[in-house]
Amino acid sequence: MSGKAGFIYKEGAQILNWKKRYLAIERDKLAYYVKENKKDKKGEILLRTIKDVKRFREYKGRKYVFGIVTTTGRTYYIQGSDDENVTSWVNAVNEAIGNKVAEPAPVVEAPVSQDPPPRAGKVTVADFDTVSVIGRGGFGRVLLVRKRDTKKVYAMKVLKKAVIAARGEIEHTRTEKSVLSKIDHPFLARLYWSFQTAENLYLIMDFINGGELFHHLSQQKRFPEDRTKFYSAQIVSGLEYLHSNGIIYRDLKPENLLLSAAGNIVMTDFGLSKEGLQAKDSRTATFCGTPEYLAPEVIKGEEYTKAIDWWSVGTLIYEMLTGLPPFYTEDEENMYHKIMTADLVIPAFFSAEVADIIRQFLHRDAKERLQDPERIKAHPWFRDINWDKLLRFEIEPPFKPKVKSADDLSNIDREFLDEDVNDDHDPEAPKGPVAPDVFGGFTFAGK
């Protein structure tokens, strides 16, 4: 039986779902691949580490499952196609490791659960089944997960501690969790739980599956003015709430704005936010943000106030109407120069009202910039917005994404969906232990 190979289903080690794999008994190991050509290897089990092979009557509701028990104490759970297929695999592995082959292979009862039970009042990664990869960032991945008891889907942000520490982003990560755990607003992302393991940090949030605003703008090139106004009003409402709670957002851009299934804005990613700025003129000075949306005072390295977020609003409104930010160039230094000095060009098709509010948002003197929420909401461009109804979702969104269900993935980039949820290996990622108290207090459980 040595040299046996064929497709099976294998349960992941850390993310407990099942993936189709091409399993092959090789000279000194049992290797598994994505495809039959063996070009995309996903892992291996050294034959010398295999202690036992067990055939199970049933495992987690699945039939035709066998387990490969290793000397490290781990059991690899593998599902075959039928009784005959499983028997042949069990016998082949036993033969490869020098065990006596029994015909037919004995059947035993599988453990009731291989998952550690969650502690009372808390959740762990074992409380979720992973459905798909839906995003990737500099510190880790975003996964679509389903909670095992309620079957509800969430977005799970998985951040690698070693990467965060190596890149000096510990404070930003703490801030993101801190902001998410405090905010409660219709147009801001909601955090349900956060927790950690020795290697990773986990944030469990709503799965917003209407797609990024960036995706829709890229497809449609530009939005009509009424649609732009609707999104802008929801962003204004979200920023007013953040500012009233002493938080500067600092990273407003289309990539951080999602659409709900109903077509409403959801602001996400608070890693660059700054807390504790309660006073109207509270200032900070950290240079951060996305180049296209930076206010002049940030580029100059000056101290700045919450007014920088309103500059970004003006930039975003202009981009939604035209397809590009007002001072955009591919050369970053030239773009910074234009943000600080170039004339603002208003296209002829802009209404007088939207042209005026953009000019006021993009005033280079922060003291003269439009930044009072009450004045913003009273501006003629927003005259037809009922702000109370907006907060209650009583205004029909001008565009509704094509979403069939709560777990519909049609608006997620195919690049992410094609990733293997069990393959989180990044050879270039920093490695090494992180002091256990670095992320102390990270655990959170919402209402």
Which pair of tokens denotes residue 425?
Answer: 């290996």
Task: Give the angle 173-144-414 at the CA atoms, nearest 5°.
Answer: 105
Q: How far apart are CA 117 and CA 222, in angstroms?
A: 50
Sign of CA dihedral 245, 250, 256, 257: positive
List, in sequence order, the alpha helices (H) in 279-406.
Answer: 296-299, 307-322, 332-341, 352-361, 373-377, 387-391
Residues forming beta bridges with residue 415, ordered by sequence position: none
Q: Which of 82, 149, 184, 251 is catalytic?
A: 251
Residue 237: DSSP 8-state: H
My answer on whether omega of the bond before 430 falls inside 30° of 0, hence cis, is no
Asked if residues 123 and 116 have their Cβ atoms less than 8 Å apart, the reply is: no
210-231 residues labelled b (16+ CB within 10 A) or e (exposed): bbbbebbbeeeeebebebbbbb
Q: Is 407 a catalytic residue?
A: no
Write out the H or E segment, with its range, that includes residue 159: strand 153-160
CA distances to 252, 315, 355 from 290, in Å: 8, 12, 23
* C-alpha distances out from residue 84 to 9, 23, 87, 253, Å: 15, 16, 5, 56
Q: Provide the β-strand partners of residue 136.
A: 141
Helical (H) or strand (E) element with 134: strand 128-136
> Residue for token digits 């755990």?
181
Task: Write the CB contacts of 310 (distance below 8 Å, at least 6 apart in sequence).
Answer: 239, 361, 369, 370, 371, 376
Residues designated as active site: 251
